[in-house]
Amino acid sequence: MLEVQNLSMRFGGLLAVDQVTLDVQEHEIVSIIGPNGAGKTTVFNCISGFYKPTGGKILFEGGEIQGKPDHKISRLGMVRTFQHVRLFGQMTVVENLLVAQHRHLNTNLLAGLIKTPDYREREQKSLDRAAYWLERVGLMELANREAGNLAYGQQRRLEIARCMVTEPKLLMLDEPAAGLNPAETKDLNQLIISLKEDYNVSVLLIEHDMSLVMDISDRITVINQGRPLAAGTPDEVRNNDDVIKAYLGEA
Amino acid sequence: MATPNFKHALFCAIVTIVIAYPILGLNLVAESTRVIVEGADTTTVISVFAAALVVFLFQLFRDRIMASLGGLPKLNPFADREHMPESKRARLESWVLTGIVVLALFWPFFVSRGSVDLATLVLIYIMLALGLNVVVGLAGLLDLGYVAFYAVGAYTFALLSQYAGVSFWMALPIGACLAALFGLVLGFPVLRLRGDYLAIVTLGFGEIIRILLNNWTALTGGPNGIGGIPDPTLFGMEFGRRVKEEGNTSFHDTFGIAYSSEHKVIFLYLIALILAVITALIIRRFMRMPVGRAWEALREDEIAARSLGLSRTAVKLSAFTIGAFFAGFAGTVFASKQGFISPESFVFLESAIILAIVVLGGMGSQLGVVLAAIAVTILPELAREFSDFRMLVFGAAMVLMMVWRPQGLMPMRRTHIQLRRQE
Ligand SMILES: Nc1ncnc2c1ncn2[C@@H]1O[C@H](COP(=O)(O)OP(=O)(O)O)[C@@H](O)[C@H]1O
Ligand SMILES: [Mg+2]
């Protein structure tokens, strides 16, 4: 469903991403790994439309999307989380989920002002969808708390829930396990697998936690200094000499 | 510990003298053709030095003073009372608000004409502040030229009535929509701007409108303004002593009561009250709708909002447009109340006052905005003899607020949303 061909991104003199090619098929978890500063987040930013790539093609379900504005790309059914959590801190947990569902709601101002039956029905549906996901990630009790006051692990889960209420086809997670304790990481592990198995979402994952990556990925792409180093199944990558030298050996 | 404080206090005292002495102490006196500088009289000099001493002592014991003031909230009898359950609180709040509106409906019949007139002005400021609250408080876009939309509303009515004989009720929606259009037009060039840059551009826009009104003498009468703006009518009944418009009747004749100039004032007040209530209700509704949440989301984190598919363009423009719409509303009422408008009424200071109301009230909070509007409009009237110091008191109040309640009088409360358990 997602195809990235020869993607390049140049910042002035720095070639942060150099000819990266990868693809994500339906019902698949694909991971991008690589040392810090390798250009993983930059790849995400290009795919999700935050940066306009300086070279290469990005296709989503057959259509070219490179250089499109970010909100249009997200509306195609491809949402992301951020390496540093980005919530609407002063809004409540449930409001965070409602913001994400603006497209499911009737955006006609008048319909909302006079609360037409259609508007009420859609509003109730998005409330129910929010409730469902809050329960799914274990935040139901905190629904009316300000999002900024949640613990770090809870914020991470809320960010994923906020993506899921948009009913995406592809979910992009940027280091979702960063800063989580081992127990939380294990929960996250199960959550990501369940997203694929039960909700039929494809996942593109950036992660440092090797055990997590090796556990849940169907395929892995390794990037080093902006260049693709290797790609394949977890076993292939684990046994790749270049990878062992450049990445795993270091760590 | 004491030494840095001492140095700092001494420095502050000297600054006080350096600033205060030339401003308060030196006078320019015209003596036939020459202008001479005259030194201060003894009382001024003494008071300047007394002020410096106060500043010195305050700065010297600042930590201790602030610490003892920090203990003040403990005196608040409500401070550690238990929080009411959410549903009960909401019900109580809506009862109190309804009560206030009902009281406000009957109140003008028992008080003087001057008070009603002043109350009308307060209501106009409430409308303005509620509208600006959308832009600044909810969407987080610092708009320093908000008065421009107020001017558009007022001038729309004035010009339409002068050139086309349009009545108040016709002009009200036209003025609001035209102001909204101006909001949209201003929104486009500033889409990419944020913070300081946005503030400066909107400030410039406000000035452009004022200067345009001032200089386009042929249309607007320039600094002379436009007079003879008609009062609103009630189902074709006029409130003047004599009927001005063909086909209208007069209010006092219809009801067979004696003519009184108070009728008109009260009627205008009631119109302003109803419009202010409508404004509050509509914006309150918006805040609980996708638009309102989108405004706040953009204020909280623009990148995250966009990553969820919110269009920055649509969200920002809707905030500017809707905010401007209500300023147009207020402008039309203002023109009708004054009967005469000129660019004088739409200077930057007005923008600053409206913004101050929003900040004092607590960004995003409607009840806070209403209270602040009342305070900011009425207090200067009550303290007329201090009118020279109005800006000084104003500034001091702002500084104090920033120290003690940076979140405003009544910070915005999030709505409690009840969820149905799934599965
Ligand atoms: N907006 C930007 N401007 C300039 N350089 C950038 C920008 N974003 C990322 N970079 C650079 O690109 C390189 C890759 O960064 P990043 O994609 O964040 O790495 P990773 O996520 O793999 O740790 C880094 O050297 C970083 O400094
Ligand atoms: Mg990164």
Residue B418: Cβ within 10 Å count: 11
Q: Give the model's pLDDT for residue B240.
A: 67
Phi and psi at A4, nearest 5°, equal: -115, 120
Residues B203 and B305 in one domain: yes
**Interface pTM, i.e. ipTM:** 0.91
CA–CA distance from A144 to each of A147, B14, B138, B223, B295 (Å)? 9, 52, 19, 53, 19
C-beta of residue B113 within 8 angstroms of C-beta of residue B261: yes
| Residue at token pair 């999700």 | A48
Whether A218 has a pLDDT exceeding 90, the answer reads yes
Residues B225 and B107 in one domain: yes
Q: How far apart are CA B306 and CA B308, in angstroms?
A: 5
A21-63 pLDDT, tens per residue?
999 999 999 999 988 889 999 999 999 999 999 999 999 999 9
Q: Give the model's pLDDT for residue B58.
A: 85
Residues B92 and B236 in one domain: yes
- Residues lower than pLDDT 70 in chain B: 1-4, 69-86, 236-237, 239-256, 258, 383-384, 386-387, 423
A42 residue type, one letter = T
Mean pLDDT along residues A155-171: 94
Confidence of residue A251 (pLDDT cuts 50, 70, 90): very low
Q: How far apart are CA B300 and CA B231, in angstroms?
A: 43
C-beta of residue B213 within 8 angstroms of C-beta of residue B151: yes
Q: Give the model's pLDDT for residue A248.
A: 55
| Residue at token pair 């006078």 | B27
Q: Which of A3, A168, A19 is nearest to A81 (CA)?
A: A168
Distance from CA of A219 to the nearest CA of B (A): 25
Cite the DSSP H helix spans in A32-116. Answer: 40-47, 70-75, 93-100, 109-113
Give me the number of domains chain B comprises: 2
What is the overall mean pLDDT for chain A? Answer: 90
What is the overall mean pLDDT for chain B? Answer: 83
- Ligand 1: atom nearest CA of A174 is 21
Query: Is the CB of A146 less than 8 angstroms away from the CB of B414?
Result: yes
Q: Give the model's pLDDT for residue A208.
A: 82
Task: Mark which residues 61-120 of A lie under 8 Å from B by CB.
Answer: 69-72, 74-75, 79-80, 82, 86-92, 94-95, 98-100, 102-103, 105, 107, 109, 112-113
C-beta of residue B137 within 8 angstroms of C-beta of residue B364: yes
Let me know if residue B320 belongs to a domain: yes
Let me know if residue B309 belongs to a domain: yes
Q: Give the model's pLDDT for residue A119.
A: 87
Q: Which of B192, B193, B161 is nearest to B175 (CA)?
A: B161
Residue B421: Cβ within 10 Å count: 10
Whether A237 has a pLDDT exceeding 70, the answer reads yes
C-beta of residue B248 within 8 angstroms of C-beta of residue B254: no
C-beta of residue A229 within 8 angstroms of C-beta of residue A250: no
Residues B210 and B186 in one domain: yes
Q: Which of A33, A66, A25 is nearest to A250 (CA)?
A: A33
The residues of chain A that CATH labels 3.40.50.300 are 2-87+169-248
CATH topology of domain A2-87+169-248: Rossmann fold (3.40.50)
DSSP B136: I
Residues B210 and B280 in one domain: yes
Q: How far apart are CA A169 and CA A196, in angstroms?
A: 10
For A209, the token pair is: 């936690």
Q: Give the model's pLDDT for residue B234.
A: 74
> What residues line ligand 1, using a CB cutoff of 6 Å?
A 11, 14, 16, 34, 36-42
Residues B91 and B38 in one domain: no
Q: How far apart are CA B322 and CA B400, in angstroms?
A: 32
Let me know if residue B257 belongs to a domain: yes
In DSSP terms, B234 is beta-bridged to B237
The domain in which residue B31 lies consists of 6-74
C-beta of residue A48 within 8 angstroms of C-beta of residue A172: yes
Residues B112 and B62 in one domain: no
CA–CA distance from B253 to each of A54, B73, B151, B240, B391 (Å)? 78, 58, 35, 11, 46
Which residues have CB under 8 Å from A210's CB, separation 6+?
A33, A248, A251
Residue B3: Cβ within 10 Å count: 7
Query: Is the CB of B417 less than 8 angstroms away from the CB of A94?
Result: yes
Q: How far apart are CA A22 and CA A33, in angstroms?
A: 12
Residues B142 and B286 in one domain: yes
B119-177 pLDDT, tens per residue?
999 999 999 999 999 999 899 999 999 999 999 999 999 999 888 888 888 889 999 99
Residues of B in contact with A91 (CB under 8 A): 293, 296-297, 300, 414
Let me know if residue B82 belongs to a domain: no
Residues B45 and B181 in one domain: no
Residues B188 and B316 in one domain: yes
Residues B93 and B207 in one domain: yes
Query: CB-based contact (8 Å) between A130 and chain B?
Result: yes
Residues B60 and B194 in one domain: no
